[in-house]
Amino acid sequence: MPIHVNTKETLNGDFMEFRAPSAAAELNARGLEYLTKNLSDPKAGSQLFVSLREQLGNCVESYPDWHPILSHPEQSRTIHVSSITQVKQYEGIDHNTLFVRGFVTCPYSKDMSDKLVERVNAITGLSAWHLDGPLYSDHAYPVVVEALDVELEADGTIRSRDALAWCAEQLVKGARDAQVAETWWNMRRHILGSPHGSRSSLIVNQFTGGHMRKFLEAFNDSGMYGPIKEWLLDMLSEKKRKKISETLIEAALNQRDKLGNSFEFELRGESCKAEIRDTFGDGEELSIRVTIGESDLVTSGFFYQKSNTLQVSDPNGKRVLAEKFL
């Protein structure tokens, strides 16, 4: 009996193509609601938010590692900082909303907000100040942290020459302690920020992102970081990624009756290890994981026995190996 594949959703799936204007509109609306819905005077809060948007740019979900908000505060070389919550100088931040040029945070302690402003203003290139009115809560003490050197292009992204210079500095800095080279598909979120597309985000446009990719790939090819580690397969289309996972998991399910719940099987010249378990012990849902080599290729999914339906995750691993299962 053929297995029906759930085409409406996949585990960790992303079906929406990235479009900057719609992404910005959605995040700005979300940021406005988050910062004003609990206020006694939401209209005044909305005016404050609009003022912040004009000064700091669009709302974003996360910063690239090279962004001055993350890179200007001095940090230990042994710590990889990819979020403002990891920056010790930002201790006490709470209820945060990020923008392209900086962020607003709304702690409930005035003493904490005063100390935050003092610490940030001691960092070259950053500035912090108290807002005149409330955001998030009438009882909060909102503080704005701004990266003074960040200038925006007409499209709202960071000026290309600055972003490229900061990105190159960060990539070179990371080489000294690197053990492996990461592909563009592994590193996009750390280089572009989020939300992002294949080579652009609300923080960098396609021209800038394209050159950042060239930087990374040139450094990878030089051997500066070490051997290249492949993991994400986002360079393949969603249809192809799904097909790879379906091929492996369906093959494992077809072998289950003969080999049990943990076994090895061969498919297209590769030795595959399958692990299958009854998720809840009631026979309704099976969890399946297929691995080739030492995580050279990995995928997983769920099989719903009553409806004979398969739901799969994206595969991860080496591209050349993955393409054998298309």
Please give the residue range of the domain that contains residue 300. Answer: 236-325
Q: Can you give the pLDDT at residue 2?
A: 52
Looking at the domain assignment, is residue 182 inside a domain?
Answer: yes
Please indicate, yes or no, whether residues 137 and 251 belong to a single structural domain of this protein.
Answer: no
Looking at the domain assignment, is residue 171 inside a domain?
Answer: yes
Q: Can you give the pLDDT at residue 11?
A: 31
Q: Can you give the pLDDT at residue 14?
A: 39
119, 57, 54, 136: which is closest to 84 by C-alpha?
A: 119
Q: Can you give the pLDDT at residue 265?
A: 95
Please indicate, yes or no, whether residues 73 and 117 belong to a single structural domain of this protein.
Answer: yes
156, 154, 219, 181: which is closest to 24 by C-alpha?
A: 156
Encode pLDDT of 227-271 as tens digits. Answer: 888 888 999 999 999 999 999 999 999 998 878 899 999 999 999
Please indicate, yes or no, whether residues 222 and 243 belong to a single structural domain of this protein.
Answer: no
pTM: 0.77
Looking at the domain assignment, is residue 210 inside a domain?
Answer: yes
204, 245, 201: which is closest to 12 by C-alpha?
A: 245
* Domain closes at, from 147, 180, 201: 147
Q: Own/partner pairs for 19-25, CB < 8 Å, 24+ apart?
A: 19/197, 20/155, 20/156, 20/200, 20/201, 20/202, 20/205, 23/195, 23/202, 24/58, 24/59, 24/156, 24/202
Please indicate, yes or no, whether residues 135 and 167 belong to a single structural domain of this protein.
Answer: no
Q: Can you give the pLDDT at residue 256?
A: 87
Q: CB count, 10 Å around CB of 297?
A: 24
In this prediction, residue 15 has a pLDDT band, given cuts at 50, 70 and 90, of: very low
Determine which of 5-19, 102-116, 196-210 has the lowest per-residue pLDDT on average: 5-19
Distances from the Cα of 325 to the Cα of 9, 245, 259, 319, angstroms:
21, 8, 21, 10
What is the residue-wise DSSP string for 231-281? -B-TTS-HHHHHHHHHHHHHHHHHHHHHH-SEEEEEETTEEEEEEEEESSS
Residue 103 has pLDDT above 50, yes or no: yes
Please indicate, yes or no, whether residues 116 and 87 belong to a single structural domain of this protein.
Answer: yes
The angle subtended at Cα 44 by Cα 41 and Cα 50, nearest 5°, is: 140
Task: Answer positive or negative: Cα dihedral of 291, 292, 294, 297.
Answer: negative
286, 289, 277, 284: which is closest to 248 by C-alpha?
A: 289
Encode pLDDT of 212-237 as tens digits. Answer: 999 999 999 999 999 888 888 999 99
Looking at the domain assignment, is residue 155 inside a domain?
Answer: no
* Domain closes at, from 181, 212, 229: 229
Please indicate, yes or no, whether residues 59 and 97 belong to a single structural domain of this protein.
Answer: yes
The conformation of residue 86, written as its DSSP 8-state character, comes to G
Please indicate, yes or no, whether residues 225 and 241 belong to a single structural domain of this protein.
Answer: no
Tell me which residue has tokens 């399946």: 288
Task: Answer positive or negative: Cα dihedral of 57, 62, 63, 64.
Answer: negative
Look at residue 179 and give its three-state secondary structure: coil
Look at residue 161 and give its three-state secondary structure: helix
Task: Answer positive or negative: Cα dihedral of 216, 220, 222, 224.
Answer: positive
Encode pLDDT of 21-65 as tens digits. Answer: 999 999 999 999 999 999 999 999 999 999 999 999 999 999 999
Looking at the domain assignment, is residue 6 inside a domain?
Answer: no
Cβ pair 300, 11 in contact under 8 A: yes
Looking at the domain assignment, is residue 12 inside a domain?
Answer: no
Look at residue 55 and give its three-state secondary structure: helix
Please indicate, yes or no, whether residues 185 and 87 belong to a single structural domain of this protein.
Answer: no
Looking at the domain assignment, is residue 15 inside a domain?
Answer: no
Please indicate, yes or no, whether residues 220 and 272 belong to a single structural domain of this protein.
Answer: no
Please indicate, yes or no, whether residues 105 and 170 belong to a single structural domain of this protein.
Answer: no
Looking at the domain assignment, is residue 195 inside a domain?
Answer: yes
Please indicate, yes or no, whether residues 111 and 33 belong to a single structural domain of this protein.
Answer: yes
> What is the tally of structural domains in the chain?
3
Q: Can you give the pLDDT at residue 236?
A: 92
* Domain closes at, from 91, 114, 147: 147
Please indicate, yes or no, whether residues 284 and 210 belong to a single structural domain of this protein.
Answer: no
In this prediction, residue 16 has a pLDDT band, given cuts at 50, 70 and 90, of: very low
